Amino acid sequence: MGGCFGRITVETPTHTVVEDLTAEHGYEVRQYPAILVSETACDNTEQGNRAAFMKLARYIGVFGTPENKTKDGEPETVAMTAPVLNTGESAEAISMTAPVLNSGGKMAFTLPSKYKTLDSAPKPTNPEVSLREMPAFQAAVFTFTWSTDQADAEKRVIEFAAQLREDHAKRMEKLEDGKIKFALARYNGPMTLPFMKTNEISIYLRNA
């Protein structure tokens, strides 16, 4: 995923920049098409993140024979992509002072664009890994460096939400409990020098 110097050499999801507000507000508004992902449950702990990553890595065949089956019943190596996504977590959107840590999130790998439908992708043999199509979405995206994790992201998302332009703040998607819907994207592996890592926080926006 880019080696120690942070260069991203694998496929990443395509998107369109709807508004570039980097100079004024420090973020972009992006439009993403539907994205196919492999995903598994993941909690906020370092151990939970590591376990989730290993399950997804085994699905694509990082450590040997892929834990998947094609329509022909054979395993198929799936190319590594970036970023690794942590989704399904939320942060308190009312006080704008502190996040609410919330278990029950997921980690996801985006599938290579050669897979156009879920039926065309190899099926996981591990029942804890599943495939899903993320519908097309729009998001406010903040990019930053150094090492991060879900707990760090939950702190950052509160600060990020407070910086959103008013019209974007009104469009923030919320979960059923009223908390902000966001995702953490990490583009580099653990061997990348921290100051050369690329990370993003995406706050999902409702259609205007």
Q: Is the pLDDT assigned to residue 36 strictly greater than 90?
A: yes
Which pTM does this prediction carry?
Answer: 0.86
Provide the residue type at 203 as one letter: I
Greater pLDDT, 175 or 80:
80
Give the β-pairing of 84-87 and 130-134.
Answer: unpaired
H-helix or E-strand containing 160?
helix 150-163
Mean pLDDT of the 74-80 span: 96
How far are the Cα atoms of 56, 94, 146, 181, 192 from residue 81, in angstroms, in the given order? 12, 35, 20, 23, 16
Predicted local confidence at residue 120, as pLDDT: 96
Cα gap 107→56, rounded to integer Å: 8
Q: Is the pLDDT assigned to residue 101 strictly greater than 60?
A: no
In the chain, the DSSP E strands lie at: 16-21, 27-32, 35-42, 68-69, 84-87, 90-91, 105-110, 123-124, 130-134, 137-144, 180-186, 199-205
Q: How confident is residue 3, by pLDDT bands cut at 50, 70 and 90?
A: low
Beta bridge partners of 109: 38, 84
Which one of 43-57, 72-86, 103-117, 184-198 scores highest in mean pLDDT? Answer: 72-86
Query: By the 8 A CB rule, do 34 and 135 touch?
Result: yes
Mean pLDDT of the 62-85 span: 96
Q: What is the 8-class DSSP label of residue 75? A: -
Q: What is the 8-class DSSP label of residue 111? A: P
Q: Is the pLDDT assigned to residue 176 strictly greater than 50?
A: yes
Q: Tell me the per-residue pLDDT of 15-32, one tens digit each, with 9 for 90 and over.
A: 999 999 999 999 999 999
Q: How confident is residue 4, by pLDDT bands cut at 50, 70 and 90?
A: low
Predicted local confidence at residue 138, as pLDDT: 97
Cα gap 195→6, rounded to integer Å: 9
